[in-house]
Amino acid sequence: MTKAMAPRSRKVRVLATLGPASNSPEMIAKLFEAGADAFRINMSHGDQTSKVAVVQAIRSLEKRFGRPSTILADLQGPKLRVGKFAEGRVTLETGQVFRLDRSTEPGDATRVELPHREIFAAIEPNARLLLDDGKLVLRVTEHGEDFITTRVEVGGVLSNNKGLNVPDVVVPMAALTEKDRSDLAWAVEQGLDWVALSFVQRPEDLMEARRLLQGKAALLAKIEKPAAIDRLDEIVEQCDGVMVARGDLGVELPPQQVPPLQKRIVEVSRRMGRPVVVATQMLESMIKSPSPTRAEVSDVATAIYDGADAIMLSAESAAGDYPIESVSMMNAIGESVERDPSHGDRVHFTVTKPDPTTADALAEAAKDITDTVSASAIICFTMSGSTARRVARERPAVPILVLTPSPETARRLGLLWGTHAVLTRDVESFEEMVAKSKRMALRHGVAAAGDRVIVMAGVPFRTPGSTNVIHVVRIMGDELKNYGTSASG
């Protein structure tokens, strides 16, 4: 029988991106052992067929390690690009005039095709156009139905099909491209747990993805456009989770504005009870180096002190030379920060007031009781995972052991702070709830003889969204030799 892996000793989750350096079953298992709690599949690269084996390798971890696996599919989103040049590239000089138009003729140093009709309709005078990840900056001086005239503010070399960012206006483009719809359908077919939507600008952008998912995967909104900040609360309310995607956010905004925005996004997400992932360039130097810079370590630590649910590796684990070392370093930083005596106070700088519901009141009470009676763990019986999310929002000082009969719920919780999900049969009675709580607490090492645990559940049992019971349980010494060993509990 497979012995279940013990809960992580840290509460922040580690999300590792898979790619050429880490797609093999052997490497995926090593990353999991090194500390990866969830895996990101970037739909921008490769084809769907090649990713099926990756999904199967991740799911095989469940049998080997006795705990749920978590997979996030990250959709590419609409990519804005300029057309091609007759010579393949041109050099734009600062101060010169440069025109973007609808003509399909190869471009030169004076003009190039812009094959996105929506931009011509939305653009405004004095708006900026950022090319090649912000390396070149154009300022709009004039525009019409099929042309945009600009002055080059920051020049440089511009080559074929380079990316374009439009930070100063909301471009009314569909949030899902045809490729995204195909990739989303594939993710649902494969039973993936989370789907991330790129370049969200408005809450309306989430609606089509939500409809297509039909509840079969959780929806994560990537915040990487300045327009999204203007309607942040509405966007967070419409999704199941949030990613602070600092790459494009740092292209479209001055770099110095990103850190306070990161804190704001984390705060709003936590306040509204949505898991929040901080991503991009966290350990960037580890793509080529076996150790990070001190600044990178501080960056990761800051996200953890702010109370982010998860921290993400991108190219470090997907294409770098040291994927295992990168995950191990994330794991080590998380453990070190959470051992800091001030960590508990810092994660509570964000005030998370409960909604006026019984479930929220009980989640807040569970944390307070845990502190008062020095309980060792909070145990949640849940069908949908909502109880676990409410408890995690309070950032208790103890592990959250989540017992659920739903494989989908158990897997989705891989991005939720402080939780250790266990797939197990549901209970039928109050007495069975208490007995199972003791048994699971002992089996998974979150409590010992003499400890108290806090138990939360809903009565009648097996009723989603009915959390109305909180109970303090003491584990007696003689129960150490009496609890069973069946994996299903």
Cβ atoms within 10 Å of 349's Cβ, excluding its own: 11
Q: Give the CA distances from residue 411 to residues 62, 72, 240, 402, in Å, rounded to whole numbers and listed in that order.
A: 10, 10, 14, 11
Three-state secondary structure readout of 27-70:
HHHHHHHHCCCEEEEECCCCCHHHHHHHHHHHHHHHHHHCCCCC
* Residue 96 Rama label (left phi>0; alpha psi -120 to 50; beta): beta
Strands (E), 354-429: 377-381, 400-404, 419-423
Catalytic residue, from 8, 10, 11, 40: name it: 40
- Rounded Cα distance between 15 and 327, Å, is 9
> Please, what is the Cα angle at 17 between 385 and 326, to 5 degrees?
110
Q: Which of 279, 360, 346, 352 is nearest to 317 (CA)?
A: 279
Write the DSSP assignment of 225-242 as a string of letters.
SHHHHHTHHHHHHHSSEE
The token pair that represents 78 in the structure block: 């609409």
The token pair that represents 461 in the structure block: 């049992």
> Please, what is the Cα angle at 21 between 337 and 244, to 5 degrees?
45
Catalytic residue, from 150, 280, 382, 409: name it: 280
Does residue 445 contact residue 480 with C-beta atoms inside 8 Å?
no
210 is catalytic: no
DSSP 3-state of 255: helix
- In the chain, what is the greatest distance between 2 CA atoms, to the nearest angstrom? 83
Catalytic residue, from 30, 59, 81, 102: name it: 81
Cβ atoms within 10 Å of 116's Cβ, excluding its own: 20
280 is catalytic: yes
Catalytic residue, from 8, 11, 51, 222: name it: 222
- State which amino acid sits at residue 18: L
The token pair that represents 62 in the structure block: 């469940």
- Tell me the catalytic residues: 40, 81, 222, 280
